[in-house]
Amino acid sequence: MFAVKGLDHIVLRTADAARLIAFYRDVLGCAVERSREDLGLWHLRAGAALIDIVDAAGPLGRPGGAAPGPEGRNLDHLCLRLQPFDEAAVRAHLAAHGIDAPAAVPRFGAEGDGPSVYIADPDGNTVELKGPPFGGQGPGS
């Protein structure tokens, strides 16, 4: 038998790879770890996991159909666990990038209940920015 250890990667298709890469790199601090421009594929490091950006017009993206837009999404949301989670600092950083983030609210996640803020990336994908569990309790704390 086997056990799931965690999220390995998520793949986002896009019509504007440069814009989406800039968001995850410059706003959220995910470094570009590897790229395969011949395939229209970029791997960005998000802690122990990867966020893969795929150009919807490229060899890997074309089989997926139309690029993301108002009529359809490629996923509901992705959640990035932040450490540390200083709500004021997170919201100020996002504001400096032109993103008006709402106040954090408690939400359940892999480590338990903790603060969470939802924002949107440039393609309209919802990105949850999640803090540690309240009281430092939960798996991995």
pLDDT digits (tens, 9 = 90+) for 27-78: 999 999 999 999 999 999 999 899 999 998 899 887 887 887 777 667 778 9
Q: What is the pTM of this model?
A: 0.78
Residue 39 DSSP SS3: coil
Does residue 137 surpass a pLDDT of 80? no
Does residue 1 surpass a pLDDT of 80? no
Paired tokens of 82: 């932040």
Does residue 6 surpass a pLDDT of 90? no
Which residue stretches of 4-52 are H helix? Answer: 17-22
- Sign of the torsion formed by the C-alpha atoms of 6, 81, 107 and 133: positive
- Sign of the torsion formed by the C-alpha atoms of 25, 31, 37 and 39: negative
